[in-house]
């Protein structure tokens, strides 16, 4: 959600904060602001809209000062306007605060503060917190923050500065990601490492209930009760080039085109060809423990939930273990049946999604063993699970998830292979699966090399306002994912269904204005899906078909065919999703949409 950056050191803070916010803008982009402390007190600038609005406001006249905080917002409390933009100040105007998360008892605190004479300029929960800190302030920002946090419920990543203390920056975390960047004589706080990579790769990840106090001499980590905490310094492995666009028009396109490499990176080091199995030591489970798993629950949100559904097909088919896939937001609140014989797999690109994190905590609390398939190294989910696999897809900046999805499916294939080989899958079958997996990156590359064909299809369908996506079996989740991609970046209404379900309702929508995307590789249900295509054509729907080969059957029916290379049935989603991602991208670009930062969305959803 919101992006947070803070700095203390010898450099001018304002420019550094703006640059940092540019890297964080993917987390939220409806308003932004900075606060810098200098000899003249606290200087605050904020603006509604994209970061460029703030830059226009500053017009190159950056406030001087070497300590400050900056924020880019994704609105939770209050409209995305300038008064609601962060930083917010306390009643006296001395303390500035930026916040990612939600203070749940803000309403009650606001009422109490009003009764004590406080007046508010915004509708935000963050301003309420700033006022509360101000009430506790008696010349020591660190203590005032600790005391105020004792009174609040909810989730937060926070940073504070105070005009009376130009040498202290205080940060705190509960439920929203925050890290400290450790430079040479300079220190940073940020909601992820991207704004500080240019200066340092050494970071300390804060855990819930921890505060960081940054001064001109160093940093300390403590809890709300004053106990000092010693924490390891981790090194970030990727560099700035990895999070830049590298010649592509958009991050989304770059990330779609990275998939041959990112899938290869996910698989690297995990495939044991001779033994026909996968090495997944990161799960931290012995073979005996893996054999004892009786049931698997996979929990996730959004695109990651779609990859979870593919995992369900793979695991049930190959490992013969019953699997349930749960929306994390439902799982966490519905008294789920899990125990120590249940393996709970959480899937998350960011590793920070609030609902997925809460679902994993709930599962752990009930005694389940938890594993995470996570992309962002050092993220909260990655640190809280009992074991897992890092996706190594590289940073995903475009708000619409693309390469994380294919890497999640690849990681699920690894877990499936390991579990299946410990049960009934033969070494020969295991080897065949590995052979097919190893071909996938080159096959993705082959599809990407034909992106212009997808662009031509997109050009043809760009003016439609609705679309149906239909697939069967393991490609039903791909239909869901294709529809999600289209709606989130082009704002075209799109629905995904199992192809045969069409007859039970959605068929009523079909006429000559309805494009229907069929995902129809030559798999076990190919003949069935041909009948579904006939049904759509009989109602004059326009069919776009993803097929292995234009074999005379499909191309006779479909308005457009796109061929994808052949692979094992269970691995087809790794290929079929790629043209669908490209299709959404090209449609959205033609419609003039901001594909990397679609309206109302944010990259990492750290609120419920
Ligand atoms: C869609 C998209 C979202 C995320 C969802 C979960 O393109 O990006 O649906 O998949 O918010 O996010 P993670 O995977 O970070 O937990």
pLDDT by residue (tens digit) across 134-170? 999 999 999 999 999 999 998 899 999 999 999 999 9
Residue 379, ligand 1, Cβ within 6 A: no
Domains 241-448 and 450-608 share a fold: yes
Q: Confirm or reject: Cβ of 192 under 6 Å from ligand 1.
A: no
Alpha-carbon gap, residue 382 to 384, rounded angstroms? 6
Token digits of residue 321: 């273990």
Q: How many angstroms is it from 303 CA to the middle of ligand 1?
A: 5
Architecture of the CATH domain 450-608: 3-Layer(aba) Sandwich (3.40)
pLDDT at 78 over 80: no
User: Is any ligand 1 atom within 6 A of the Cβ of residue 307?
Assistant: no
Say if residue 437's pLDDT is above 90. yes
Pocket test residue of 176, 332, 401 for ligand 1, highest count of atoms within 8 A of CB:
401
Output the residue whose Cα is nearest ligand 1's atom 5. 302
Q: What is the Rg, in whole angstroms, of the alpha carbon atoms belonging to the chain?
A: 25
Find out whether 562 and 578 touch, Cβ atoms under 8 Å: no
- Out of 3.40.190.10, 3.20.20.70, 3.30.160.20, 3.40.50.10490, which CATH number does the structure's domain 241-448 have? 3.40.50.10490
Number of the ligand 1 atom closest to the C-alpha atom of 302: 9
- Look at ligand 1, atom 3, and give the residue with the nearest C-alpha: 302
Cα 118 to middle of ligand 1, angstroms: 39
Matching residue, tokens 């450099």: 11
2 has catalytic annotation: yes
Catalytic residue selected from 2, 97, 162, 301: 2
- Report how far ligand 1's centroid is from the alpha carbon of 197 (Å): 24
* Average pLDDT of the segment spanning 175-181: 92
Ligand 1 test: best mutation among 250, 353, 606, most atoms within 8 Å of CB? 353
In whole angstroms, how far apart are CA 66 and each of 42, 311, 415?
12, 49, 49
Helix H or strand E encompassing 298: strand 295-300
- Closest by alpha carbon to 516, among 546, 483, 482, 543? 543
What's the 484 CA to ligand 1 centre distance in angstroms?
Answer: 11
Confidence of residue 77 (pLDDT cuts 50, 70, 90): confident
- 301 alpha carbon – ligand 1 mean position (Å): 6
Alpha-helical regions (H) of 241-300: 251-257, 259-267, 287-292
Spatial neighbors of 76 by CB under 8 A, at least 6 apart, are 1, 102, 125, 607
Residue 354 or 551, more confident: 354
Neighbouring CB atoms inside 10 A of 22's CB total 17
Domain residue spans of the chain: 3-236, 241-448, 450-608
Level-2 CATH architecture, domain 3-236 = 4-Layer Sandwich (3.60)
Name 35's bridge partners.
Answer: 44, 69
Give tens-digit pLDDT for 17-69: 999 999 888 777 789 999 999 989 999 999 999 899 999 999 989 999 999 99
Mutate to test the pocket of ligand 1, among 251, 605, 607 (most ligand atoms within 8 A of CB): 605
Q: What angle is formed at CA 593 by the lines to CA 592 and CA 599, rounded to 5 degrees? A: 150
What is the Cα–Cα distance from 111 to 433, expressed in whole angstroms?
62
Give residue-wise pLDDT tens across range 561-603.
Answer: 999 999 999 999 999 999 999 999 999 999 999 999 888 877 7
What is the position in ligand 1's atom list of the atom closest to the CA of 605?
11
Whether residue 31 has its Cβ less than 6 Å from ligand 1: no
Residue 348 CB less than 6 A away from ligand 1? yes
Average pLDDT, integer, range 442-453: 97
Check whether 1 has a pLDDT greater than 70. no
- pLDDT value of residue 155: 87
Tell me, using a 6 A CB cutoff, whether residue 407 lines ligand 1. Answer: no
Question: Ligand 1 centroid to 300 CA: how many Å?
Answer: 8
Closest atom of ligand 1 to CA, residue 350: 15
């Amino acid at each position: 959600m919101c992006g947070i950056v803070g700095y203390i050191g010898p450099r001018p803070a304002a420019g550094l904060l703006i640059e940092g916010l540019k890297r964080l803008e993917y987390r939220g982009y409806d308003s932004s602001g900075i606060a810098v402390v200098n000899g003249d007190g606290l200087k605050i600038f904020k603006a509604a809209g994209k970061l460029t609005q703030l830059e226009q406001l500053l017009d190159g006249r950056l406030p001087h000062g070497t300590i400050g905080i900056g924020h880019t917002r994704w609105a939770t409390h209050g409209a995305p306007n300038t008064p609601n933009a962060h930083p917010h100040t306390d009643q006296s105007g001395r303390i500035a605060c930026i916040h990612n998360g939600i203070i749940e008892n803000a309403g009650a605190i606001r009422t109490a503060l009003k009764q004590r004479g406080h007046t508010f300029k915004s509708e935000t929960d963050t301003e309420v917190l700033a006022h509360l800190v101000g009430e506790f302030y008696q010349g020591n920002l660190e203590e005032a923050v600790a005391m105020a946090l004792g009174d609040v419920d909810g989730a937060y990543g926070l940073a504070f500065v105070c005009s009376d203390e130009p040498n202290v920056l205080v940060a705190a975390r509960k439920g929203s990601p925050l890290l400290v960047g450790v430079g040479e004589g300079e220190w940073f706080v940020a909601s992820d490492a991207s704004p500080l990579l240019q200066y340092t790769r050494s970071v300390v990840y804060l855990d819930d209930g921890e505060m960081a106090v940054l001064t001109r001499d160093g940093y300390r980590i403590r809890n709300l009760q004053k106990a000092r905490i010693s924490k390891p310094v981790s090194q970030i492995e990727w560099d700035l080039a990895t999070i830049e666009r590298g010649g592509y028009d958009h991050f989304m396109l770059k990330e779609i085109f990275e998939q041959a490499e990112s899938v290869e990176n996910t698989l690297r080091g995990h495939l044991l060809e001779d033994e026909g199995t996968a090495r997944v030591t990161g799960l931290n489970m012995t073979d005996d423990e893996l054999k004892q798993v009786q049931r698997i629950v996979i929990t996730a949100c959004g695109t990651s939930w779609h990859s979870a559904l593919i995992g369900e097909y793979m695991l049930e088919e190959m490992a013969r273990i019953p699997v349930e896939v749960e929306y994390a937001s439902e799982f966490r609140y519905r008294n789920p049946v899990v125990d120590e014989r249940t393996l709970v797999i959480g899937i998350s690109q960011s590793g920070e999604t609030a609902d997925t994190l809460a679902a994993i905590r709930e599962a752990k609390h009930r005694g389940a063993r938890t594993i995470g398939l996570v992309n962002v190294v050092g993220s909260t989910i990655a640190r809280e699970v009992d074991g897992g696999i890092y996706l190594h897809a590289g940073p995903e900046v475009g708000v619409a998830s693309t390469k994380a999805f294919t890497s999640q499916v690849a990681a699920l294939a690894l877990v499936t292979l390991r579990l299946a080989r410990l049960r009934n899958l033969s070494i020969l079958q295991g080897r065949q699966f590995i052979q097919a997996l190893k071909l996938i990156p080159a096959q993705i590359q082959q599809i990407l090399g034909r992106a212009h064909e997808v662009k031509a299809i997109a050009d043809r369908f760009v003016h439609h306002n609705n679309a149906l996506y239909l697939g069967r079996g393991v490609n039903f989740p791909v239909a869901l994912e294709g529809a999600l991609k289209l709606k989130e970046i082009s704002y075209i209404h799109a629905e995904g269904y199992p192809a045969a379900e069409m007859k039970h309702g959605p068929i009523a929508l079909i006429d000559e204005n309805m494009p229907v995307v069929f995902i129809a590789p030559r798999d076990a249900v190919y003949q069935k899906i041909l009948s579904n295509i006939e049904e759509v054509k009989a109602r004059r729907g326009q069919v776009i078909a993803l097929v292995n080969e234009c074999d005379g059957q499909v191309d006779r029916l479909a308005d457009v065919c796109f061929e994808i290379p052949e692979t094992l049935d269970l691995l087809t989603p790794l290929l079929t999703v790629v043209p669908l991602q490209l299709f959404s991208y090209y449609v959205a670009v033609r419609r003039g949409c901001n594909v990397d930062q679609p309206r109302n969305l944010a990259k990492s959803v750290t609120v419920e």
